Structure 1
Amino acid sequence: MTPTSRRLLLSAPFAIAAVGGVGFYTALNRQRTGAYNPRGVPSALIGQAPPDFTLPALPESGVEPFGAADLRGIGRPVLVNFWASWCVPCIIEHPQLMRLSREGVPVFGIAYKDKAADSLQFIRRHGNPFNRLAQDIPGRVAIDWGVFGVPETYLLDAQGIIRWRYAGPITDEVLEQDLRILLRRHA
């Protein structure tokens, strides 16, 4: 091995570390300035109609099931919320969903990989914000939507096109700074 190739080989780890350091610094700086949102995972469905699906109702919920056809042409924005009774962040976001429902925003719920009895107990204990409520026990519909965890909420405009996706609980801050603005914009 020549001395030049030996120097290049020895300097390769330093170059890789430098590139990684610059990338890490850039990510931290963008997060500090608000230009980077680690929760802002893009969705391939933004600007499209939801994937075709039909789900069964949550038994004994008193709320009708729904499918993709029920999301088309409602004439006003609607939220589709993937949730589960075993999901702690779902408890955090539930008061915001209840508030939106009381204000007349249609909220369609999909109980994700949850036992029917547990889902029913959850909505009986915390209230039922859902205009429509269905079960996705195998999680197939959630996969088609690109859900990677619950809670996850999608905003569909008045024509039934997906305009926004939020992964994580809708907090008061998210509701006031993001969702209310989008609901007005897409009315």
Structure 2
Amino acid sequence: MQRFLPLIIVLVLVGVFLRMMTLEGRNPNEIKSVLIGKPVPEFTLPGLLEEEADLTNAYFNREEPVLVNFFASWCVPCRAEHENLMKLAQEHGVTIVGVAYKDRHADALEFLDELGNPFSRTALDRNGRLAIDFGVTGVPETFVVDADGIITYRHWGPVVGDGLEKAILPALEEAR
């Protein structure tokens, strides 16, 4: 019996790992955010547009939920999701804050000039510090912040396909 013990342990571990990988609704490529249920980190970033003042965490204490979208001009998936961000802003009246992640000022402006600007406010996170504080693992990433400034949802990757209807809109509704 003792000589089969290592085999039994390996089989049990394989079973546990397989079970964890096949849990319904779990994306093994997605890292869960530790900020869900916590307030927006304290920060001050320069506005991207010339007429914009600095953006701070105080902006998120509002009467409505806000979407925070980390994007970059060099990010191909950011281009893919941009149409859905425009739809959220124009058709659904969602307040979206855009944070240009590790981007050059001129490139981020050109990106918005080319594709349109769905953002109510924009900021430039040149060194990526705010992205680190939010736990961003790569752009694009989108967060829902409720009216009290609490992060309630994180969408990893581009908002494409049915991600708008099945993930973002329900998360916004729940944050109301």
Matching of residues 86-125 of structure 1 within 5 Å: 86-102=74-90, 103-125=92-114
Question: 1:82 aligns to what?
Answer: 70
Shift of 1:144: 1.0
- Please give the TM-score of this superposition, normalised by the length of structure 1: 0.84
Provide, for residues 49-105 of structure 1, a one-character-per-residue CA deviation record: whole Å limited to 9, x for no partner.
Answer: 111000011254x54441101111x10110011111111111111111111111211
CA contact (8 A) 1:56 1:65 kept: yes
Question: 1:141 aligns to what?
Answer: 130
CA contact (8 A) 1:65 1:132 kept: no
User: What is the alpha-carbon distance in structure 1 between the residues aligned to residue 95 and residue 107 of structure 2?
Assistant: 23
User: What is the alpha-carbon distance in structure 2 between the residues aligned to residue 86 and residue 158 of structure 1?
Assistant: 31
Structure with larger Rg: 1
**Identity over aligned residues, as a percent?**
44
Q: Could you tell me which of 39, 47, 71 is aligned with 2:37?
A: 47
Provide, for residues 96-127 of structure 1, a one-character-per-residue CA deviation record: whole Å limited to 9, x for no partner.
Answer: 11111112111001111011111111111111
Letter in 1 for 2:114: R
CA contact (8 A) 1:59 1:116 kept: no
Residue 175 of structure 1 aligns to a residue in which SS?
helix
CA contact (8 A) 1:64 1:134 kept: no
CA contact (8 A) 2:99 2:122 kept: yes
Residue 80 of structure 1 aligns to a residue in which SS?
strand
Letter in 2 for 1:104: G
Letter in 1 for 2:27: N
Provide, for residues 131-185 of structure 1, a one-character-per-residue CA deviation record: whole Å limited to 9, x for no partner.
Answer: 1101111111111111111111110112221110111111241110122122222
State how many pairs are aligned: 175
Deviates more, 1:62-71 or 1:44-53: 62-71
CA contact (8 A) 2:140 2:156 kept: yes
User: What is the alpha-carbon distance in structure 2 between the residues aligned to residue 15 and residue 64 of structure 1?
Assistant: 63
Structure 1 residue ranges, 4+ long, deviating more than 6 angstroms after superposition? none
Structure 2: runs of 5+ lacking an equivalent? none
Residue 68 of structure 2 aligns to a residue in which SS?
strand
